[in-house]
Chains A and B, each alone.
Chain A
Amino acid sequence: MAKVDADLPLKGGFSFDLCRRNEMLVKKGATLPGFRKTGTTIVGLVFQDGVVLGADTRATEGPIVADKNCEKIHYMAPNIYCCGAGTAADTEAVTDMVSSQLQLHRYATGRESRVVTALTLLKSHLFSYQGYVSAALVLGGVDVTGPHLHTVYPHGSTDTLPFATMGSGSLAAMAVFESKYREGLTREEGISLVAEAICSGIFNDLGSGSNVDVCVITKGKTEYLRNHLLPNPRTYVSSKGYSFVKGHTEVLSTKIIPLTQKEKVEVAAEGDAMEE
């Protein structure tokens, strides 16, 4: 019988066993692999009938744009969505994981998911990884208890707020919110304010850019407005175009290897049909 091999410690959290080895490797001159951060602007606000979430669509690897149109508003439940800033893999993994857990919970309880449930699942996971899972989230949704908006930090702390911003563009976006937010906004006002805050991040923060994604969650209805605004079209396209004719790239040498001789294979007389 194969031995049951527990790769991960049963109690959750990181196993730091390889840290000494990694330090030794770095000392010997090896470079640790980098990771892609989203360098982002994400926002959320509570309005009259629910919550509006917003995000930009630029993913960066250092100074280079890795993805010009990525999706930062993640699905958690039909009535709960989550914006993610920080390391792209971390935000993706943690929201997918909690989304699955919520679905199982819905089946077990027979009820619509609550935002505080998602919040507790996220914060306990992030806390157990002591901040190493670099995910900064804006969680929003509407459940039986009403509309909710929370921010979740990489170390596992949370805030409950009427309006929130996260990411490298959070200051630019918060400046807009602090000037123009008030209680009891209508749906149109909410969407327009969120779009304005994201645009502020897009144009004033170099880590954010491209398009505006918006998600409006109300009692019984969720609208995911992907690419709600596209304020950054390409400014110039060469009318001449580019052609790459044969000979454009210098061929240094050519070697042609003929395929081995083709053989005819006779199919044997009908044997047993394949099982299963």
Chain B
Amino acid sequence: MSRRGDWVYENNGGTCVAIAGADYCVVAADTRLSTGYSIYTRDYSKICKLADKCVLASSGFQGDIKALQKNLSARHLIYQHQHNKQMSCPAMAQLLSNTLYYKRFFPYYAFNVLGGLDNEGKGCVFTYDAVGSYERVGYSSQGSGSTLIMPVLDNQLKSPSPLLLPAKDSVTPLSEMEAVDLVKDVFASATERDIYTGDKLEIVIINASGIQHEFMELRKD
């Protein structure tokens, strides 16, 4: 049996989803924090507001994620001092990628989804791996339930690839209400089959009027 004392990571579970619309962005994550077969707490937010129109949802090792969020918030504050304005979502996306790759050889155990509005006011979603590879997409999911959720989103939202020519819009034609309904249904389904997803769903909606929060109960077993 390997009894290495050097495994410094822990997986706290959970699932994150983001969907980009024509003039809105929906970012959602469950609120369960777990370890192994136990629950630490049923009421933990995995969503962090980085800028006025930019929200980060992360699943993985929450210790690393707290440090990552602190890092990004600090860098954003410096940016605001130097440029006298908030960072745009695409700019924050690049910053996050660079921050993750900076620790390429001792990574943040974080699976991120960044959501917000771009400079034109259109919804944008960026999806990452643990070391900073990222892509702008129309929707994405990360975390323990992502394999259950992604195929359903693919079926319902069918986002065109950003590699297509001529460039097609990656935003979904769904209305804000329909997107929120889809997110709720998809999380309820993932909760049925994934033991690490459940308790409560936190939904953040970013649009021209600002940021709104919504909560929904999920199965607690």
Contact = CB atoms under 8 A, between A and B. Distances in A.
- Tell me, yes or no, whether A binds B: yes
Interface of A: 39, 58, 60, 63-65, 68, 168, 202-210, 231-232, 234-240, 242, 248
For chain B, what secondary structure do more than half of its interface residues adopt (helix, strand, loop), or is it mixed?
Answer: mixed
Given A63-B144, A65-B195, A206-B34, A238 B221 contact: no
Contacts of A65: 192-195
B220 to A, nearest CB: 6
A240 B181 contact: yes
A203 B198 CA distance: 11
Contacts of A206: 34, 36-39, 195-196
Interface residues on B, range: 20 to 34
B48 interface: no
B151 to A, nearest CB: 12
A206 B196 CA distance: 7
A231 B219 CA distance: 9
A169 to B, nearest CB: 8
Contact of B37 (A39, A68, A237, A238): A39
Interface in B61-86: none
A234 B194 contact: no
A70 to B, nearest CB: 14
B6 interface: no
Given A204-B38, A237-B188, A58 B221 contact: yes
Interface in B162-212: 178, 181-182, 184-185, 187-188, 191-196
B218 interface: yes
A234 B192 CA distance: 8
B29 to A, nearest CB: 16
For chain A, what secondary structure do more than half of its interface residues adopt (helix, strand, loop), or is it mixed?
Answer: loop
A226 to B, nearest CB: 18
Counting chain A CB atoms within 10 Å of each CB, the highest count among B195, B219, B221 belongs to B221
Contacts of B195: 60, 63-65, 206-207, 209
Nearest to A65: B193
Counting chain A CB atoms within 10 Å of each CB, the highest count among B39, B184, B195 belongs to B195
Given A63-B196, A238-B182, 19 more contacts: A65-B192, A65-B193, A65-B194, A65-B195, A204-B38, A205-B38, A209-B195, A209-B219, A209-B221, A232-B220, A235-B188, A235-B191, A235-B217, A236-B184, A236-B188, A237-B185, A239-B181, A242-B156, A248-B155
B37 A235 contact: no
The 3 A-B pairs of least Cβ separation, nearest first, read A209-B221, A238-B185, A236-B188
Interface string B123-139: 00000000000000000
Contact of B216 (A64, A207, A235): A235
27 contacts: A63-B144, A63-B194, A63-B196, A64-B193, A65-B192, A65-B193, A65-B195, A203-B220, A203-B221, A205-B37, A205-B38, A206-B34, A206-B195, A207-B195, A208-B221, A209-B219, A209-B221, A232-B220, A235-B191, A236-B188, A236-B216, A238-B181, A238-B182, A238-B184, A238-B185, A240-B178, A240-B181
Nearest to A233: B219
A253 B221 CA distance: 45
Contacts of B188: 234-237
